[in-house]
Chains A and B, each alone.
Chain A
Amino acid sequence: MTKQTSEITRRRLIATGVSTLALGVASPAVLRAQSAPLKVGVVLPLSGVISFPGIATRRGTELAVKMFADQGVKLDVSFADTESKPENGRVAAEKLIRDGAGVIVGAWDSGATISAAQACEAAKVPLVVNVGSAPQITEQGFTEVFRNFPPATEIVGKGLALFKALPRGNGFDPKTAVIMHVNDTFGEAVMGGVKAVWAKMNIDIKIVDVISYDLRARDLSVEVAKAKATGADLVCPITRVNDAILIVREMVKQDYNPMAIYGPSSPGPYEKAFTDALGKYSNDYMTSVPWYDPSRAITKDVLARWAKEFPGNRFELNSGFGWEGIQVVVDALKRAGSTKPADLHAALKATNIADHPMAGGPITFDAKGQNVNIAVPLLQNQGQEPVVIAPTAAAQAKPHLPMTPWSKRA
């Protein structure tokens, strides 16, 4: 005989309580957070001399916000402009924190990132670094910093290892190199890294001259003339986009045809502005920087949506890490189930994102807040598009070396 009852028994009460609790735990934490969306403050150089990559990073950030909103994760994102001045990073971060930001993302420029990190440290608000390669960002003891970008020394080391392994022969066997570098913090840091790694790796190419120039230089004809006078087989420019264009244009005019141009950790040559400005002369230029993995499904989704949202613009390093900055925040928000900075900080420390667009292993942060799993492939412009030429496993095309002389380009 079965007894049907609607009485509240102790066993039923416990079962109901447990199932309610389980439902609460199992339901996406983010849904509970949606009653008050997480305020995300994004610090970027949106005006001034480095606004060009800053705006590219903003595009990637905005794309990620839209794509995650489509998945039901709504963020309240505010942007603050550093005006390309490092000292403004702190001011911008402080303003965003005052306005209620639970997490800060930024700040593209290393100087502005360090400055913003000081504000975040004081307010105990996590800072997710999208782009910023100065080693000291994660070496100064900041506890709120989570950097999803490799330090310059690592980019240089990984890049030079791939360059050294390029097959020699068929007219490509450089014996001498000349380094041209911009003389700002970034350029000096990368230059120091190149010199150290060059010696450490015993690269059998002699550096015959190092030519530095001002970031604001409008004319690099003398610099290129000096480089040409060395007769170096390899030119290693450490540039941003404007100076990279100036260097190649001068090399064409002065008919300086080295065996290769390779920029270790040099942003610029993969930009659309570079290939648009130089056309056929942009081809064969190599650089090593973190890049997206075109074989992943998530990258294909991002690239497809990018083409719809920003037609005529190229998805590259800046937009890619802009996108991933938001991905890191969304992932932490989901796991934290809270918009409180302390909860987000705890969640960020336990980050482990296997599926993301930029090449490399899962996004995780070590004790210093550094993601050490970012890959640095070797890129070469071919057909006026940057393609991966090394490592072989990720290569989209074979290296084209030695580079075609300027006068013989169709």
Chain B
Amino acid sequence: MTQLYISVVVNGLMIGAIYALVAVGLNIIFGVMRVVNFAHGEMVVIGMYIGYALWKYAGLPPAAAVPVAMVTMFAAGYIFQRLLGNDFVDKPQHVQFVLYIGLALAITGLNAMIFGPDPRGIEAAASFAVYTIGPVRIDASRLHAALAALMLIAALWAWLRFSLTGKAMHAAAENIVGGRAIGLRIPHLFALTSGIGMACAGTAGALIAPLYDTTPYLAGEFTLTAFIIVIIGGLASLPGALLGGLLIGVSEAIAALFIDPSAKSLLSYGLLILVLLLRPNGLMAAGRGPR
């Protein structure tokens, strides 16, 4: 049984790291622009389809899709923000909601038209590979995806903290008027933020493409999970997103093992309610109020 417990907790941690990368994208967009991206799960699904399409039609290994998804989704996010998103940053929230929900519906419809509703899976050797450590078997694809997600989160955190552009994004997030006064190119910084956020989601999608079969209708679950993680970890906090992701991943695994697999969501939502009651701003809130 010890082997079972170890496997389950390790699995939970690995899934949690991937969840965290998805949530980081949502968090950074909200943190800098105070915009809630309801189409975030759709970006994950696009990343998954990029992984599937490159494997199926170009014969590339699943890992090769990761940089492609990252660059493509960054470009898509940047262009979207420059062409449309920036006009909505200062609009009332309900107007922003309509934009992003509309975007989500359009992407889902487009995915259904291009790929159909059938589940699309990657049948590569990597999808079935495992590492054996003593009696414990670790899913190789999941481990690679989790390590890549952790490295990306760490790199992004360091870039935001130490690079000049990262500091400028922080400044724009803290005080947009002040940022404009000192000459920050706010539209460019917002576009950069949108690009990074969507790149995180797309990259996470490409990383999990060998693990899950893709359908156009997966997005809602990813968006919901990302919201829960962001609320638990703390809005606008990258370490919070990581902590939230790991907590959700492990709690789901433990609930499935000790209570019932059907009760996976029960513990996640229970955790969410507890955090909202005890620390309404999240476990590691960045302390930013409305702009």
A1 to chain B, nearest CB (A): 82
Q: Quick check: B7 and A216 within 8 Å, CB to CB? A: no
- Across the interface, name the chain A residue whose C-beta is closest to B256: A222
Contacting residues, chain A, for B130 (C-beta < 8 A): 253-255
B29 to chain A, nearest CB (A): 23
Q: Quick check: A219 and B15 within 8 Å, CB to CB? A: yes
Q: Quick check: B121 and A277 within 8 Å, CB to CB? A: yes
Selected from B15, B137, B213, the residue in CB contact (under 8 A) with A242 is B213
Question: Given contacts A213-B261, A213-B262, A214-B264, is CB(A229)–CB(B4) below 8 Å?
Answer: yes
Q: Quick check: B261 and A211 within 8 Å, CB to CB? A: yes
Selected from A213, A217, A254, the residue in CB contact (under 8 A) with B137 is A254
Say which one of B73-81, B112-120, B269-277 lies at the interface with A: B112-120
Interface magnitude class on chain A? 35 or more
Chain A, 45-82, CB within 8 A of any chain B CB: 47-49, 51-52, 54-55
Selected from B123, B217, B257, the residue in CB contact (under 8 A) with A226 is B257
DSSP majority for the A interface? helix
Chain A, 223-241, CB within 8 A of any chain B CB: 223, 225-226, 229, 241
Selected from A183, A213, A222, A276, the residue in CB contact (under 8 A) with B8 is A222
A369 to chain B, nearest CB (A): 30
Is there a chain A Cβ closer than 8 Å to B215's Cβ? yes
Is there a chain B Cβ closer than 8 Å to A91's Cβ? no
A381 to chain B, nearest CB (A): 14
Contacting residues, chain B, for A254 (C-beta < 8 A): 7, 130, 137
Q: Quick check: B123 and A277 within 8 Å, CB to CB? A: yes
* Complex CA–CA separation, A273 to B123 (angstroms): 11
- Across the interface, name the chain B residue whose C-beta is closest to A271: B118
30 intermolecular pairs with C-beta atoms under 8 Å apart: A52-B119, A52-B215, A54-B117, A55-B117, A183-B262, A212-B262, A213-B261, A213-B262, A214-B261, A214-B262, A214-B264, A216-B221, A217-B261, A217-B264, A218-B221, A219-B212, A221-B139, A222-B256, A226-B256, A241-B119, A242-B119, A245-B121, A245-B213, A249-B127, A253-B137, A276-B123, A277-B119, A277-B121, A278-B121, A279-B123
Chain A: residues with CB nearer than 8 A to chain B? 47-49, 51-52, 54-55, 84, 183, 211-214, 216-223, 225-226, 229, 241-242, 245-246, 249, 252-255, 273, 276-279, 281
